């Protein structure tokens, strides 16, 4: 599958690109500075290309939005046309630096809900990947002890992204409708607080589920 990563030159974007490329996907890293994205893509190697954010948005059936919350709305406004018809995986956490260990509810309750409101029904927004640290992603050989909760109003888009999460080497779990992005995004400051308190890198696991199928990580 072709996957575009908007704001893809940051650590999170590069980690995702590395793992998806290893799983056989084609990845387009987008950036406001296409030359930088091309350089980063070359450095990562494999089936990873670089380009503008418009290139990333227009390239794949699935696009990932990996920009800081401060750039969230402006970035989406600029790309609304290019994203039409696609699945957009919004991994944004609406942090309010420097208080990144305290929940901050944005005006639209969740960044992903704001994205859906801004883009309209022609784009299927999926919220996911809020609880996986870039530190872990960028070492593709490293097993990550964390589940990925995935929510969206569109059932097919949700299942598609759960599959892509599996390709990252993680267990993706259906977490319901997009409104539930409120819980997923709000949990990240709590994990950042726990990570800071314990000088560690924390994640979450859902317990009490039936045993996973043999193919699941």
Which pairing describes strands 171-174 and 87-90: parallel, antiparallel, or unpaired? unpaired
CA 113 to each of CA 45, 59, 69, 78, 200: distance values in angstroms, whole numbers, following the listed order: 34, 23, 13, 17, 30
> Which residues in 120-179 contact a copy of itself (CB under 8 A)?
145-146, 149, 151, 173-177, 179
CA distance 104 to 94: 6
Relative orientation angle of helices 34-44 and 11-22, to the nearest 10 degrees? 50
Output the smallest distance, CB 38 to a copy of itself, in A: 34
CA distance 29 to 10: 10
Q: Which of 101, 134, 154, 159 is in the footprint of a copy of itself by CB under 8 A?
A: 101
Output the smallest distance, CB 149 to a copy of itself, in A: 7
Q: Is 46 left (phi over 0), alpha (psi -120 to 50) or beta?
A: left
Q: Which of 109, 112, 126, 139 is in the footprint of a copy of itself by CB under 8 A?
A: 109
Q: How far is CA 70 from the centre of its chain?
A: 16
Output the smallest distance, CB 152 to a copy of itself, in A: 13
User: Which tokens belong to 210?
Assistant: 């039936």
Helix (H, G, I), strand (E, B) or coil at 3: strand
Interface stretch with a copy of itself, choices 54-62, 73-81, 163-171, 190-198 (CB under 8 A):
190-198
Of 81, 88, 72, the residue nearest 152 (C-alpha): 88
Please say which residue, 59 or 150, places its beta carbon nearer to a copy of itself.
150
Q: Which helix (H) or strand (E) holds 52?
A: strand 48-52
Q: Is 35 in the site for a copy of itself (CB under 8 A)?
A: no
Please say which residue, 19 or 130, places its beta carbon nearer to a copy of itself.
130
Q: Is 63 in the site for a copy of itself (CB under 8 A)?
A: no
Q: Which of 85, 205, 213, 215 is in the footprint of a copy of itself by CB under 8 A?
A: 205
Interface stretch with a copy of itself, choices 28-36, 62-70, 102-110, 118-126 (CB under 8 A):
102-110
Q: Is 201 in the site for a copy of itself (CB under 8 A)?
A: yes
Please say which residue, 79 or 182, places its beta carbon nearer to a copy of itself.
182
> With contact defined as beta carbons under 8 Å apart, do 123 and 84 qualify?
yes
Residues that bind a copy of itself (CB under 8 A): 101-103, 105, 109, 145-146, 149, 151, 173-177, 179-180, 182-184, 186-187, 189-191, 193-195, 197-198, 200-210
């Amino acid at each position: 599958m072709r996957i575009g990563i908007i704001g893809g030159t940051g650590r999170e974007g590069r980690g995702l690109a590395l793992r998806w490329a290893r799983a056989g996907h084609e990845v387009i890293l987008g950036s406001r500075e296409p030359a930088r994205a091309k350089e980063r893509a070359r450095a990562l190697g494999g089936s990873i290309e670089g380009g503008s954010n418009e290139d990333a948005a227009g390239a794949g059936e699935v696009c990932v939005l990996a920009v800081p919350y401060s750039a969230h709305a402006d970035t989406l406004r600029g790309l609304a046309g290019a994203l039409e018809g696609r699945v957009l995986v919004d991994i944004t956490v609406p942090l309010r630096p420097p208080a990144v260990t305290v929940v901050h509810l944005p005006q639209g309750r969740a960044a992903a809900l704001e994205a859906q409101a801004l883009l309209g029904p022609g784009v299927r927004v999926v919220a996911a990947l809020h609880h996986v640290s870039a530190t872990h992603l960028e070492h593709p050989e490293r097993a990550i002890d964390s589940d990925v909760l995935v929510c969206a109003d569109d059932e097919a888009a949700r299942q598609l992204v759960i599959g892509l999460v599996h390709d990252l080497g993680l267990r993706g779990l259906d977490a319901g409708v997009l409104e539930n992005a409120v819980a997923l995004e709000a949990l990240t400051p709590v994990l950042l607080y726990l990570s800071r308190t314990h000088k560690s890198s924390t994640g979450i696991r859902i317990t009490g589920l039936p045993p996973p199928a043999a193919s699941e990580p």
